[in-house]
């Protein structure tokens, strides 16, 4: 009888100890999960900080390229405008010279019609000297290609040739401006990436204020989602023109 009573007591003690052991196991598992989460948070904080520094650096390079391209565009446009003015002045000078030349040509035609050989000779010499002294090389070349002296060499193609160099410069200026605008847009995109990374850093930083593990896990998951989203978007943005790691170590 005493033996049965002893067994019953031991059985009750075992049953009473079982819930305590189960609670300890659960508490230990919870601590392990919390420790793992804290490690992951620390890792992702470091990764996000590195990515933020990278995005800031690349964004600043885009900003530098933007400034450089805008400056080059303005300087090139200034050169193009100067060349345009030079072309316009040369065009007007050649046009006035041609009009005077045509007046002398009419005088030559009248002298030839009169049969006055001396006057004809004098006017021909006058035309040659005038053309040599007042025609630009391009006008002389265009004149030599004419089949009829009474026509005008100022065709649309020839007039455009006065401004070819200026148009090339202005086109180069527009290309540089467009490149600068692209750099500006890309720099803005990297700024947006930095904003998202800042949100991620904020969310990772406030995880510790949540007492319950499920809440921490949810906030951590949202932060990781935004981190991945921002990183994927960042790698779709073009790198700065001429970017190369080797160029930073070549000096």
Whole-number average pLDDT of the chain = 86
d(CA 222, CA 140): 76
pLDDT of residue 194: 95
pLDDT of residue 1: 52
With beta carbons less than 8 A apart as the criterion, state whether 187 and 64 touch: no
- pTM as predicted: 0.70
Cβ neighbours of 72 (radius 10 Å): 17
With beta carbons less than 8 A apart as the criterion, state whether 26 and 165 touch: no
CA distances from 52 to 43, 175, 198 (A): 14, 31, 8
pLDDT tens string 153-197: 888 899 999 999 999 999 999 999 999 999 999 999 999 999 999
Q: What is the dihedral of CA 68, 69, 75, 77, to 10 degrees?
A: -170
pLDDT of residue 249: 55
Of residues 233 and 249, more confidence is placed in 233
d(CA 161, CA 83): 12
- 208 contacts: CB under 8 Å, gap ≥ 6: 216
pLDDT tens string 71-82: 999 999 999 999
With beta carbons less than 8 A apart as the criterion, state whether 209 and 30 touch: no
Q: At what angle do helices 117-134 and 2-114 cross, to 10 degrees?
A: 160
pLDDT tens string 231-241: 999 999 999 88
pLDDT tens string 6-50: 555 555 555 444 455 577 766 777 677 878 888 999 999 999 999
What are the extents of the domains in the chain? Answer: 40-239
d(CA 219, CA 120): 101
Residue 245, pLDDT above cutoff 80: no
Tokens of 24: 């300890």
CA distances from 189 to 113, 124, 195 (A): 78, 70, 10
d(CA 196, CA 95): 63
């Amino acid at each position: 009888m005493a033996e049965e009573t002893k067994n019953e007591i031991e059985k009750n003690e075992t049953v009473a100890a079982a819930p305590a052991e189960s609670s300890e196991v659960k508490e230990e598992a919870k601590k392990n999960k919390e420790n793992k989460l804290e490690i992951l948070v620390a890792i992702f904080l470091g990764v996000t900080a590195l990515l933020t520094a990278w995005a800031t650096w690349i964004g600043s390079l885009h900003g530098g390229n933007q400034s450089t391209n805008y400056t080059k565009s303005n300087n090139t446009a200034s050169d193009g405008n100067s060349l345009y003015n030079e072309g316009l002045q040369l065009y007007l000078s050649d046009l006035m010279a041609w009009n005077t030349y045509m007046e002398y040509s009419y005088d030559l035609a009248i002298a030839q019609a009169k049969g006055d050989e001396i006057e004809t000779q004098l006017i021909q010499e006058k035309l040659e000297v005038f053309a040599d002294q007042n025609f630009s090389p391009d006008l002389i070349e265009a004149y030599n290609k004419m089949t009829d002296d009474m026509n005008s060499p100022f065709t649309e193609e020839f007039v455009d040739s006065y401004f070819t160099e200026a148009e090339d410069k202005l086109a180069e200026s527009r290309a540089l401006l467009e490149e600068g605008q692209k750099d500006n847009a890309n720099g803005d995109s990297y700024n947006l990436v930095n904003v998202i990374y800042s949100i991620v850093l904020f969310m990772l930083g406030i995880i510790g204020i949540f007492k319950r593990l499920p809440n921490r896990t949810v906030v951590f998951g949202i932060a990781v989602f935004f981190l991945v989203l921002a990183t994927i978007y960042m790698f779709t943005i073009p790198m700065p023109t001429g970017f190369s790691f080797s160029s930073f170590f070549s000096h």
